[in-house]
Amino acid sequence: MRILAPFRYVAGLALPPRCAGCGTPVGEDHRFCATCWTGLRFLASPWCAGCNRPFAFDRGDAALCAPCIAEPPRHAGVRAAVAYGPIARDLALRLKYGGRIALAETMARQMRRLLPGEIDLLVPVPLHRWRIWTRGFNQAALIADALAGLSGVPHDRDALVRPRRTIVLRGLGARQRAKAVAGSFAVSAAERVDGKTIALVDDVYTSGATADACTRALLKAGAQSVTILCWARVLSSTADD
C-alpha cells in the first residue's frame, strides 16, 4: 500500500538488509556477503543419476554412485542447494531453534534453482503435533510455503502427517535413525498425492532415514515419484564428491 511506503523507507534506513550468514549489511534481503557466499558449497551436476550425490568430475548422465548401484533409492533424487557446513548449519539451526523464520525464504531462494520442472506438488516433512506445540512452527513447512510463492507450484502442508512421535535423531547412526522413524509417517488422504510428482521439502538431509520413510508412505499412497528437495545435505568424507 502507498500509505505504508514512507514507513518502509524509514525502516529500511534504520534496519538495513543484513547477510543471512553473519549479519553484515548487504544490498537486499536474503542475500549473503562475499565471505559467507564463498563459504557455502553450492551443489549441482555432475552428480549421481540416482541420488544426486556430487561427483568430482563428469562421469556421464547415467552414472551412479556406489551406494545407488548396491541399493537403488526409492526416491527420484536428493536436490540440495548446498553441502552441510558451518554457514549452512548455522542457518538451519537459527531457523529451527532460534525462530528466525525469515531464513526459510533465504533457503527457498537457493533451493528454487533445483526444483524439477515436472513437480506437481510440494509436501513438507511433517513434525509431530507435540513438536509443533513446543517449537511453534514446522521449519520444513515454512520453507515449502516460501518455495511455493517463488515457483508457483502448489503446496500441501497436510498431505503427509506424523502420527507417531519419535526420539530425537541427532547423534544416532544411520541404522538407528531408520529404525526410529520406521512407520512414523502416513498420508492423510490418498487422493491428495495419487498420481502426483512430489517434491518432499526439508531443511537438512542427513542419513536419509526420514526422507526414505516419507517417500515410502507417499509412494504407497499412489504418488508417481518423490524428489527430495532440501537446503543442505550432509556429505560423508568417504563419498564420491
CATH 3.40.50, applies to 42-233: yes
Which residue has 516433512 as its cell numbers? 125
Residue-wise pLDDT for 88-130, tens only, equals 999 999 999 998 999 999 999 999 999 999 999 999 999 888 7
Question: Is the pLDDT score of 239 beyond 50?
Answer: no
Q: What is the pLDDT of residue 175?
A: 62
Q: What is the pTM of this model?
A: 0.87
Q: What is the pLDDT of residue 132?
A: 75
Portion of the chain with pLDDT greater than 90, in percent: 73
Query: Rounded to whole angstroms, what are the CA distances from 139 to 10, 74, 92?
Result: 30, 24, 9
User: Of 108, 122, 88, nearest to 227 (Cα)?
Assistant: 122
Q: What's the pLDDT band for 162 if we cut at 50, 70, 90?
A: confident
What residue segments make up the domains of the chain, in order of their start? Answer: 1-39, 42-233
Q: What is the pLDDT of residue 181?
A: 62
Q: What is the pLDDT of residue 81?
A: 98
b/e code 167-190 from CB counts within 10 Å (16+ = b) = eebeebeeeebbebbeebbbbeee
